[in-house]
Chains A and B, each alone.
Chain A
Amino acid sequence: MKRFSLLFQELDRSTATLDKVAALKRYYADASPADAAWATYFLAGGKPRQVVKTAELRVLAREVAQIPEWLFEEAYQAVGDLAETIALVLPTHSDAGSLSLAERVRERVLADQVPAEDCANRDTLSPTLPPGGREQQVRIDAGLAEWIEQRLLPLKSLDETERAKLIRSYWNELDTTGRFLLTKLIGGGFRVGVSKLLVQRSLAEHAGVDPKRIAERMMGFTDGTRSPTANEFLRIIRAENSSTTNANSESENGASIDASREPNEALSEPTEVNGQPYPFFLAHQIPFALAAFDEKLGPPSDWIVEWKYDGIRAQIVKRSDRVFIWSRGEELMTDRFPEIVEQANALPNGMVLDGEILVWKEGAAQPAPFALLQQRIGRKTLTKKVLADAPVVFMAYDVLENEQRDLRQFVQRERRVILEKLLSQFATKYLLSPNIAGQAWQDLETLRSESRVRGVEGFMLKHRDAAYGTGRTKADGTWWKWKIDPMTIDCVLIYAQAGHGRRASLYTDYTFAVWSRAPRDAAEAQQVIDNIADGKPVPEGAMTDVLQLVPFAKAYSGLTDEEFKRVDAIIRKNTINKFGPVRSVKPSLVFELGFEGINESTRHKSGIAVRFPRMLRIRDDKPIHEANSLSDLRSMLLGENIA
């Protein structure tokens, strides 16, 4: 744990990529394969199932620290991270140091002729070291794998008392950073400002293997349903030429079977079906305006243009009569979509498709809104009703493997031909993402303006001669997202809450409201604001009659640090009331909020739910009575444009 703790500290305090890579390489040079496997798993975003509920951890930490609940919550508000709060409130070994300072204070007090019994209860004011705290320190440091496998994972099956006893002894054994990490790991994963790409790059340099190959071998490695092993780690970093198989043909046309998928050289269990997906190729937001398309992109005929669907990106892997469905986050979601698994029956083995999972009802002209798919993912059990209410389809748009051949170096148009052939040859219910034709970019722009009505998010542009790249790279060609502009609304900030992590102690999470109807004039709006500031209740009556501010969305992104600081100061000055961590704020700020979709919602007072809301800008120029109203949101719901 000490070595991993050191790595964490090095990664956490550096902002330079080079330093981080160097720190990771030092770690990989030191760590055992079993420890390195877990470190890689966590750093690359792996999240094991939570072994202890956070509520249980909170209670335990309060007990050990001997502080009441309210004080723990105050501390959490200031810190903004639960594991860090726990690590910091627990008495530390160096508290022994400050206690000894207190001893010094006591001596002086004694010298001041204070009766000794007065000092005896001094400790009631300060937390004491848990018994045995010091003895525990001499224990030999266990490695990360041992910590996880021998100590943390078994916690789950213990009863609460046993579990509490063990966690206390673990906390006791570790320093503050160790406790922070342990608590993060118990709670299920953590972020340290290291991207998966950076981990792969470090592993590649450590092992002397192409980073793309590392990325491939790591696919599915962080899937939460299983534990990483030393053997898997060794397979990831294995030298490329350790295989005598077709390494040459691979480099010649780049389209042979990936050598790492050869069962005879893989260290993985030979009986296991290799269900690994390929690294997803990710698209970029198009960074220039329509007017520049001809110059920057050439004619539309150079591009394969498809609708950009608003579903779940997925790879369907079919090998040895088994089907695997992988999310872009490299989670296995096979069980979630039995329809898609069944429909894969018609397809051949040794095949990997890339596409989008959508809810699409029988006979509908377009896919259902994402909200429906989201609801379905949220269901624990897939009842007949759920399957009937939210039936899914797979919209295929790429083929990455066919007849056990890696096709990623084939260019887009070649892969498209293979995909079309495949889908028509094996009568499957998988849909083929249609190619959209347009003579000029302007024609496509006209079509793009229909996106919302068609239930899509705009276009994807894929160069006809581009290979299928790895991650968000542009080396092998580019996929562009040509998205529709977000819907926007001008709304009023009414509640604020402090953020987390680096934004702790700064009010960055806001709740926004619109007018229940358009105010008659500035004076009417001002009256409502004054009533709110004075804590007067809203008069009885329908929302359409009685003017009021109706909350409809929360957002916490889109502003710069400077803007957040400014808004934070305004919030502090205009606070009306505090409810726990939330402040109600006298309405004074208008924001332009952008969002991707809008749906009816019975769960919200406004009757409306918006998707991906974020702040586009602060509308200092906009008087508060000119903010939008609920009827404006309702017209958006009906697909109308508001001025």
Chain B
Amino acid sequence: MTTTDLIVLRAEGLYCAAGDFFIDPWRPVSRAVITHAHADHARSGHSRYLAHVKSEGILRTRIGADIALQTLEYGESISINNVNVSLHPAGHVLGSAQVRVENEGRVWVASGDYKVAPDATCVPFEPVRCDTFITESTFGLPVYRWRDDAEVFAEINTWWAENRDANRPTMLACYSFGKAQRILSGLDSSIGPVIVHGAVDPLNRAYRAAGVALPETKLVSEVTDKADINRALVLCPPSASASTWANRFKNASVGFASGWMQLRGRRRMGGYDRGFVLSDHADWPGLQSAIKATHASRVIVTHGYEAVMTRWLTEQGLEAGSFKTEYGDDAKESTHDAS
């Protein structure tokens, strides 16, 4: 990396020297631009935060109500030390954004996490023209190809209906922020009641407050009719599906919704009854089309299959390199955080 690069890697995170700010830094800094409110991208301890307006509620809940936070709408730009900064939809979760940085005629975009498939619970990904695109690569292998959400939701609803008919609870483990709400938006709530874990509930409230329509949900403590338990679909984080909290849902059929469920070995290793392939990250074709659409001549690959993507893009004639970031703790191994 030459010193003239607009964004470089520092021990604290991705750094824009011209504007003296960081993007999703993992160590405390004076000014942080946050792509989205997932814990590995939005950390505590920074002096000032900049994020999308729809990230505000969740950031304040997760990091602290009193953080110094400035918000932007998509497409709205501000100047930080004469560097033009704007946020653009990343289609990952509510309020997720790509960061566009413009200085002296050069345009760099840091993607954060993104997906290109439509999602009823957040604004869809928009490609932004740039010279250099910093892209994630969580699912940067050609075996990762997602099906349309409608097909996956139909599978989940069928499974739920079958369980209800067999008089057993349906428990679906998924990441609480983003994935849970996306699933909620695809559920057929005529099948039965929806119960959510305490970790999912505050995020549902944040989504509803941001104007996203979700079906009615209950906490298990709010269930008055015991018969509802066996008719219900229960959404919870993966850690809860094997905890004592889950004991109350006796004989539950347990599923897991994640991009990692694409691989049979992963499905079997997890020991879940069902694995649903549903990811908030771009699949292989999605990564390719997103990169192409930016028209960037240079691509810097972060968390995921950096080496594979870098080599592939180089062979496609692009200038490609990688940044070693601390997003997602070894995405290839994690089935919980980066799903």
Contacts and interface: CB of A to CB of B under 8 A. Distances in A.
Interface of A: 12-15, 65, 67-68, 70-71, 74-75, 78-81, 84-85, 88-89, 92, 94-95, 97-99, 101-102, 104-106, 108-109, 112, 114, 118, 122, 124-127, 193, 500-506, 561
A124 B316 contact: yes
Given A81-B264, A84-B264, A126-B288, A114 B129 contact: yes
Given A68-B315, A84-B263, A14 B273 contact: yes
Contacts of A503: 265, 269
Contact of B116 (A75, A102, A561): A102
A74 B129 contact: no
Interface in B100-147: 116-118, 124-127, 129, 141-147
Contacts of A78: 141, 143, 263, 332
A98 B263 contact: no
Interface residues of B, number: 48
Given A71-B312, A97-B148, A126-B285, 14 more contacts: A79-B265, A97-B147, A98-B289, A108-B127, A109-B127, A109-B295, A112-B129, A114-B129, A118-B295, A124-B316, A126-B284, A126-B288, A127-B142, A505-B333
27 contacts: A13-B274, A15-B273, A71-B141, A71-B142, A71-B311, A75-B141, A78-B143, A79-B265, A81-B265, A84-B263, A84-B264, A94-B145, A94-B148, A94-B151, A98-B286, A102-B116, A102-B289, A105-B125, A108-B126, A109-B127, A109-B129, A112-B127, A122-B289, A122-B292, A125-B288, A126-B285, A500-B265
B145 A88 contact: yes
A507 to B, nearest CB: 11
B322 to A, nearest CB: 15
Q: Is the interface of A mostly helix, strand, loop or mixed?
A: helix
B262 interface: yes
B182 interface: no
B264 A98 contact: no
Given A88-B143, A109-B127, A95 B267 contact: no
Contacts, number: 133
Given A68-B315, A88-B143, A108-B127, A125 B291 contact: yes
Contacts of A75: 141-143
A12 B293 contact: no
A194 to B, nearest CB: 13
Interface in B283-339: 283-286, 288-293, 295, 305, 308, 311-312, 315-316, 332-333
Contacts of B332: 78, 505
Contacts of B268: 193, 501-502
Q: Which 4 A-B pairs have the closest CB atoms?
A: A102-B289, A88-B143, A126-B288, A125-B288
A89 B116 contact: no
Nearest to B255: A13
Contacts of A505: 265-266, 332-333
Contacts of B289: 98-99, 101-102, 105, 122, 125-126
B271 interface: yes
B201 to A, nearest CB: 29
Interface in B136-164: 141-148, 151
A88 B116 contact: no
A125 B117 contact: no
A506 B142 CA distance: 20
Contacts of B265: 79-81, 500-505
Contacts of B312: 71
B292 A99 contact: no
Contacts of A112: 127, 129
Contact of A105 (B116, B262, B273): B116
A74 B293 contact: no
Nearest to A87: B143
B275 interface: yes
B285 A102 contact: yes
A133 to B, nearest CB: 14
A97 B265 CA distance: 26
B263 A504 contact: yes
A122 B312 CA distance: 15
Contacts of B275: 13
Given A67-B142, A101-B118, A106 B263 contact: no
